[in-house]
Amino acid sequence: MKNKSARTILLFIGLLFLQGGCLAEVYKYKDESGRWQFSDKPKKGSQAALLGGYKAKASAIVDIEKQLNMKYQPTSSVQRATLAVVTINSKLGSGSGFFVSADCYLITNKHVIRPAAGKAWDATQRKLKKNAAEFERTRRKLQHERQRLALSKQKLDDFKRYLEDLTSANKKQLAQQEYAVYADNYQQEKRYIDDFAKRFNENEQAFNKQRSNFDFSSSLANVARSFELTLKDNTKLQASLIKVSSSDDLALLKVKACKSPFLVLSAKRLSQGVTVHAIGSPLGLRDQLTRGTVTQVLSNGVVTDAQIMPGNSGGPLVNDEGEVVAVNTLKVAQGSALNKGFGVSIPVARLRENFSLFLR
> What is the rounded average pLDDT of the residues 335-357?
78
Q: Which domain covers residue 20, as residue numbers?
A: 2-56
Residue 262 resides in a domain: no
pLDDT at 338: 47
Do 131 and 214 share a structural domain?
yes
Query: Each residue of 205-216: pLDDT tens digit?
Result: 888 887 777 766
111 vs 359 pLDDT, higher one: 111
CA distance 222 to 115: 8
Residue 320 resides in a domain: no
To the question of pTM greater than 0.85 for the whole model, the response is: no
Residue 175 resides in a domain: yes
Residue 116 resides in a domain: no
Q: How many CA atoms lie within 13 A of 83 on its CB side?
A: 28
Q: Is the pLDDT score of 18 beyond 50?
A: no
| Domain count along the chain | 2
Residue 272 resides in a domain: no
Residue 24 resides in a domain: yes
Q: Where a domain ends, among 220, 249, 267?
A: 220
pLDDT at 29: 57
Burial of 304 (0-12, 13-18, 19+ CB in 10 A): buried
Q: Where a domain ends, among 34, 56, 78?
A: 56
Instruction: Specify whether the CB–CB gap between 111 and 120 falls below 8 A.
Output: yes
CA distance 147 to 256: 64
pLDDT at 87: 95
Do 213 and 133 share a structural domain?
yes
The pLDDT > 90 percentage for the chain reads 42
* Nearest Cα residue to 80 out of 255, 318, 259: 318
CA distance 326 to 329: 9
Q: Where a domain ends, among 220, 252, 279?
A: 220
Residue 50 resides in a domain: yes
- Model confidence band, residue 192 (pLDDT cutoffs 50, 70, 90): very high
β-pairing verdict for 316-318 and 275-280:
antiparallel
Q: How many residues in total does the chain contain?
A: 360
Do 129 and 51 share a structural domain?
no
Query: Each residue of 77-122: pLDDT tens digit?
Result: 999 999 999 999 877 678 999 999 999 999 999 988 886 655 666 6
Query: Each residue of 26-45: pLDDT tens digit?
Result: 455 566 666 555 554 555 66
Residue 21 resides in a domain: yes
